[in-house]
Chains A and B, each alone.
Chain A
Amino acid sequence: MKIFACTNCDYHSVTSKYTCPKCQQGKLQETEVSASGTVYSFTDIHIAPAEFAHIAPYTVALIQLDEAPVKVTARMDAEVQIGDSVELKGLEEGAFIYTKAD
């Protein structure tokens, strides 16, 4: 998975920024890490906006990546608990879809 790391401090993010928000000096540089991680937290969305109503209830989780201090928001393909190991299944219309690791 593509993530961004500051050239000047320890800041990491899944999204790019013009300037590092932590040290306000470094630039964010693209780097590649494994998408595997663990569930940091989650929710099951029962009442969904119109565009997602057809898949409700669905689970959205905040994933802590294993290889970098980065969290990623993703949709799960099944229910999860905090601490579950998960891996990237693929991208769907710009959304990261994760599944439980074996």
Chain B
Amino acid sequence: MTNVYVHGVGMTQFGTFVDRTMKDLLLDACIQALKEAGNPKVDAVYVGNFMGGSIYNQEILGAIVANELGLGFIPTAKVEGACASGGIAVRQGVIGIQSGEYETVLVAGVEKMKHASTADVTQAINAAMDNDSNEKRAGLTFPGFFGVLANRYFYETDASKKHLALVALKNRENAIHNPLAQFRKPATLEEIMEARMITNPLGLFDCSPMTDGAAAIVLSSKKSPVHVRASAQSSGPTQMQDADDLLSIPAIKESGRLAYEKAGVGPEDIDVVEIHDCFSMTEMLAIEELGFFRKREGWRAVEEGRTKVTGDKPVNTSGGLLSRGHPIGATGISQLYQLVHQLRGTAPNQVEGNPRLALSQNLGGTGSYSVVHILERV
């Protein structure tokens, strides 16, 4: 199969940008990535985006990118997979190159959320649940789903709210050093523990924020120092009541298993990780599902600092969704932005010892989609 390499990455600052349009953010990230790649001839464009249509009244993002950048009459598409839109878009680029159809693909992700009211954004986000269900009618929400998981996790383990707070604190500390992150102010464990409750036991710091931002990546079959060693995707239950084991998110587990199989490596070989911490509880489950720590023991690893930048399995050195920010369609690509820099040795919170293998995991919905990519420094 054709090998796929990363030739350039780009990313805007994440945060609140009232004076910038969605197109402006999207093109900014694309131009950064293309410049870094040496402005190659692009054969196709994929754009990850979730709510451009519903809250920004803007679709056709693929054609807009090709047109504004003067890329010619090439094929383009917008890709939607809730919060995994960016990761799925990257995967379409990878598959397009692996098939032999394209040599070089530009993949971008963008979301503009901060111009809209919280109620409108919340409603748009809820489109990523199965809304024709008794579960939605009962009033379950996204943070609600992870709140239910967290209470069961506490019930079955010796973990407590403090362990979730330690996840949030770690990611906040990492974001302080990331110039592109949304939240760069320090927070204390006490502040995190005592923050306003959203869905018991999850408080404000346990939930990822609303964010404006964009990220982009240029992939090609031509060689570069960063190889896409594996791209894998899975789907899972769209309703909580269908979960076989509530403390498992099978889409994460299965996409991880497939990625390890394709790459011919195991969780023990991975040097640095970006995972989808839409909630602190999600990071706790994902580090278990991806095989870094044993089931129901992720909290111990967090307590021992093993997922810190200085730990043996550094997770979310960018600050993660919780503090780097979560511009939905851009999130999956911003994970790769951080990992490419880790492999080049130029990342904020650079992991020591020349990391060689890096893993990203991007989740959509309440476990509906999961995408895993494994990158390798060659």
Interface residues, chain A, CB within 8 Å of chain B?
Answer: 13-15, 40-50, 52, 55, 58, 60-62, 70-75, 82, 93-96
Distance in angstroms from A73 CB to nearest chain B CB is: 4
> Which of A40, A58, A94, A96 is the one whose CB lies under 8 Å from B246?
A40
A48 B241 Cβ-Cβ under 8 A: no
Interface residues, chain B, CB within 8 Å of chain A?
Answer: 119, 122-123, 126, 133-135, 137-141, 143-144, 147-152, 155, 196-202, 239-243, 246
B141 A96 Cβ-Cβ under 8 A: no
B122 A50 Cβ-Cβ under 8 A: yes
- The binding surface of chain A is classed by DSSP as strand
Distance in angstroms from A34 CB to nearest chain B CB is: 17
B242 A75 Cβ-Cβ under 8 A: no
- The binding surface of chain B is classed by DSSP as helix
Residues of B within 8 A of A50 (CB): 119, 122-123
Count A-B contacts at CB 8 Å: 103
Q: Which 4 A-B pairs have the closest CB atoms?
A: A43-B147, A41-B152, A94-B137, A95-B137
Distance in angstroms from A54 CB to nearest chain B CB is: 11
Q: Which residue of B lies closest to A13 (CB)?
A: B242
Most central of B122, B144, B147 by chain A CB within 10 Å: B144
Distance in angstroms from B234 CB to nearest chain A CB is: 13
Most central of A43, A70, A72 by chain B CB within 10 Å: A43
Beyond A43-B147, A74-B134, 7 additional contacts (C-beta under 8 Å) are A43-B144, A47-B141, A58-B139, A62-B246, A73-B140, A82-B155, A95-B137
Residues of A within 8 A of B138 (CB): 60, 73-75, 95-96
B152 A40 Cβ-Cβ under 8 A: yes
Residues of A within 8 A of B143 (CB): 45, 47
Q: Which residue of B lies closest to A76 (CB)?
A: B138
A-B contact pairs, 8 of them (CB 8 A): A15-B241, A46-B196, A48-B139, A60-B139, A62-B246, A72-B134, A73-B239, A94-B137
Q: Which residue of B lies closest to A44 (CB)?
A: B200
B242 A45 Cβ-Cβ under 8 A: no
Residues of B within 8 A of A40 (CB): 152, 246
B151 A73 Cβ-Cβ under 8 A: no
B241 A72 Cβ-Cβ under 8 A: yes
User: When A15-B239, A15-B242, A73-B240 are in contact, do A45 and B139 touch as well, CB less than 8 Å?
Assistant: yes
Distance in angstroms from B250 CB to nearest chain A CB is: 11
Q: Which residue of A lies closest to B125 (CB)?
A: A49
Most central of B133, B151, B240, B243 by chain A CB within 10 Å: B151
